[in-house]
Amino acid sequence: MNKQHQYSETVRAAYPQLVIDKAEFREGGQYNDILIVNDRLIFRFPRYPEAAASLAGETALLQAIHDRLPLQTPDPIYVHFGSSIPHENFVGYAMISGEAVNIYTLADQYDDMTIQQLADQLADFLKALHTFPADDLPPQMGMSDGLAYWLDMYDLIRMKLFPLMNHAGRQQVIDHFEPYLSDKNNFDYPLVLRHGDFGTGNILFDRATPKFTGVIDFGSAGLGDAAVDLSAVYGWRGRGARLALRMFERYPELETMLPRAKFYAGTFLLQEALFGAENNEPDLIQSGLEPYV
């Protein structure tokens, strides 16, 4: 039985009232498979037990924030968890209009007024997300971004990536991490709900308007530093700075977070390479280490 048929039957068994006229299987990344149903519904199926637990947590968060943020977020309509077999669990929701967009190219495609309007949309969304009431969040929300997290990442980078770098590359990493990690003030910030992957691919866009229409993929969401979300817009070496800096007009508190956001953004390629090293993905290692070899 192929996955398309298998997943369709799993959905039919749990929701017999749903008529499936058309189904299309897609691989949805490392942790989940995707089934597109009737060209309007997205179903996500975890591949592993840990992915099932993560998807259940993400689903609980999506249920909590639905209709309470300025941009659309996935609304879990079909929810089926509890099976010990990972791929028998799933969540399904209606597709949000718009297309995944490379936010780093927008500033070169539109005039200043349009870019400011787009920046205002992102700023309003992040401000609402970062001030979301803690009492309304699912009780199992995890915490990220602390000193221990970054110390652990730095250790892994030195162990797994330093042998692949030249001397100058290693020094770049040392100069980026060690002064930052040694300053405890960099970790003195309030814990807020942050998206965790608020960048290209997860922000949907309507070119006809032009406006952002929604935000997807809350799998990395948790309690942490709001600057993480700013860093995803700012980008590696500030390639999204023209859009990111305009967000300060609507969400001025972001400006004080910029030094932390720059630190996080400066780790993006290293994180890509580290993921490649830990998952036997040579292409990711090569692309992530390009500035360091």
Average pLDDT over every residue of 275-283 = 92
Place of tokens 């995803």: 232
DSSP, collapsed to helix, strand or coil, labels residue 232 as helix
Same domain for 87 and 107? Answer: no
pTM confidence score: 0.93
* C-beta neighbour count of 249 within 10 angstroms: 13
Q: 154 and 190 share a domain?
A: yes
> Residue 16 sits in which domain range?
3-94
Return the pLDDT at 143. 80
82 Cβ contact partners less than 8 Å away, ≥ 6 residues apart: 89
- Please say which residue of 94, 109, 140 terminates a domain: 94
Question: Are 85 and 108 found together in one domain?
Answer: no
Measure the CA–CA gap between 13 and 19, rounded to whole angstroms: 11
Give the pLDDT mean for 246-262: 98
Tell me, rounded to whole angstroms, the distance of Cα 249 from its chain centroid.
24
Assess contact for 204 and 97: CB atoms under 8 A. yes
For residue 26, the model assigns a pLDDT of 85
Predicted local distance difference test score (pLDDT) of residue 28? 66
- Could you tell me if 255 and 115 lie in one domain? yes
- C-beta neighbour count of 67 within 10 angstroms: 7
Same domain, 44 and 109: no
Least confident of 141-145, 157-161, 185-189, 237-241: 141-145
CA pair distance 262, 3, nearest whole angstrom: 42
**Portion of the chain with pLDDT greater than 90, in percent:** 93
Phi-psi region of 26 (alpha: psi -120 to 50; beta: other; left: phi over 0): beta
pLDDT in tens, 41-54: 999 999 999 999 99
Domain count, the chain: 2
Question: Residues 130, 275: one domain?
Answer: yes
- Before 49, cis peptide (omega within 30)? no
Q: What is the mean pLDDT of residues 164-173?
A: 98
Residues 71-86: pLDDT tens digits? 999 999 999 999 999 9
How sure is the predictor about 142, in pLDDT bands with cuts at 50, 70 and 90? confident
Q: Which of 44, 79, 94 is the last residue of a domain?
A: 94
Same domain (yes/no): 46, 161:
no
- Helix, coil or strand: residue 257: helix
Q: Are residues 135 and 256 in the same domain?
A: yes
Q: Evaluate if residue 158 carries a pLDDT over 90.
A: yes
User: Is the same domain home to 81 and 158?
Assistant: no
Return mean pLDDT, the chain.
95
Backbone angles phi, psi at 68, to 5 degrees: -120, 10
Under the banding of pLDDT at 50, 70 and 90, the label for residue 21 is: very high
Last residue of a domain, one of 63, 79, 94: 94
Digit-coded pLDDT (tens) for 186-233: 999 999 999 999 988 899 999 999 999 999 999 999 999 999 999 999
Write the CATH number for 145: 3.90.1200.10
Q: Do 175 and 104 belong to one domain?
A: yes
Q: Counting every residue, how long is the chain?
A: 293
Write the CA distances from 87 to 18, 35, 81, 186, integer angstroms: 19, 12, 10, 41
CATH assignment at residue 63: 3.30.200.20
